[in-house]
């Protein structure tokens, strides 16, 4: 869950609903949008995960302008780590990772990662225990995209890679290719978008190191299944999954 300094009413409601749902479901394995999961993973049904709670916008803590590590130290320490402690990230940590991915750093709207023509075709999400959040760079805030824990289904769609299931937070990078294609055409724009996804992912990975967190970039998954599980809009394509957590 996103840990904050004082109780969050929305998070509390979601957690209570999650406990009730899990208790009702027992050990029954229920598929979601055609994605099967292992019988050992107990999950609620699709209708229960996508709850009737109205979407909420949550302001994120102001990102830190300076960390404890130098860039050179972060580069030297970065490694792909696939095992994590069972400790949720704080709201500030999630916010800092999202800011590193696509945060606004200049009044004109320029961001942390370079973008061809400053068109910014990427959309970034954080998948956590209690919800999937969509990052809104303008205003540095998140909105609830899906209430509930979709990590078991995301794990199945990601070829059952354990970090996707075990990490307390999975950063998702998706792309709207049409934004870049409108200026640069269908032939060149995919290259520009994918380069930008690489820039963004590296930002997240280095920020994780600076926060004393572990992370691993994942590109091996079933695209269509991930898109269905995460209920991405029709014009968005998933490019990266980045599980992040505290080191074991």
Give the model confidence (pLDDT) of 183-203 as tens digits.
999 999 999 999 999 999 999
Q: What's the average model confidence in pLDDT over 85-89?
A: 96
CA distance 150 to 46: 9
CA distance 238 to 176: 9
Environment class of 101 (CB within 10 Å of its CB; exposed 0-12, middle 13-18, buried 19+): buried
Q: How many CB atoms lie within 10 A of CB 31?
A: 13
Environment class of 177 (CB within 10 Å of its CB; exposed 0-12, middle 13-18, buried 19+): middle
pLDDT surpasses 80 at 51: no
CA distance 174 to 102: 12
DSSP state of 140: T
- Per-residue pLDDT, 33: 53
Confidence of residue 47 (pLDDT cuts 50, 70, 90): very low
Better-predicted residue by pLDDT, 43 or 205: 205
Q: What's the average model confidence in pLDDT over 220-230?
A: 98
Percentage of the chain lying above the pLDDT 90 cut: 77
CA distance 184 to 45: 42
pLDDT surpasses 80 at 32: no
Q: Is the entire prediction scored with pTM above 0.85?
A: no
pLDDT surpasses 70 at 2: no
Q: State the chain's maximal CA–CA distance in angstroms.
A: 52
- Per-residue pLDDT, 27: 35
CA distance 100 to 28: 39
Better-predicted residue by pLDDT, 239 or 5: 239
Domains annotated for the chain, with CATH where assigned, are 9-245 (3.40.109.10)
Closest CA to 244 of 126, 135, 156, 141: 126
- Per-residue pLDDT, 34: 58
């Amino acid at each position: 869950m996103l840990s904050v300094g004082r109780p969050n009413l929305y998070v509390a409601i979601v957690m209570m609903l999650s406990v009730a749902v899990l208790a009702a479901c027992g050990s029954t394995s229920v598929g979601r949008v055609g994605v099967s999961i292992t019988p050992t993973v107990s999950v609620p049904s699709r209708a229960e995960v996508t709850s009737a709670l109205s979407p909420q916008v949550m302001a994120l803590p102001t990102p830190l302008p300076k960390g404890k590590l130098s860039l050179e130290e972060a580069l030297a320490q970065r490694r792909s780590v696939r095992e994590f402690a069972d400790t949720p990230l704080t709201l500030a940590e999630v916010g800092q990772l999202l800011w590193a991915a696509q945060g606004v750093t200049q009044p004109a709207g320029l961001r942390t990662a370079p973008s061809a023509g400053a068109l910014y075709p990427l959309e970034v999400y954080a998948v956590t225990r209690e919800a999937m959040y969509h990052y809104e760079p303008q205003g540095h805030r998140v909105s609830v995209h899906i209430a509930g824990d979709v990590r078991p289904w995301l794990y199945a769609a990601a070829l059952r890679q354990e970090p996707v299931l075990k990490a307390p937070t999975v950063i998702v990078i998706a792309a709207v290719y049409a934004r870049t294609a409108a200026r640069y055409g269908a032939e060149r724009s995919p290259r520009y978008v994918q380069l930008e996804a690489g820039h963004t992912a590296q930002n997240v990975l280095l920020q994780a190191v600076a926060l004393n967190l572990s992370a691993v970039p994942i590109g091996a998954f079933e695209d269509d299944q991930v898109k269905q599980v995460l209920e991405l809009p029709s014009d968005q394509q998933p490019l990266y999954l980045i599980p992040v957590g505290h080191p074991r």
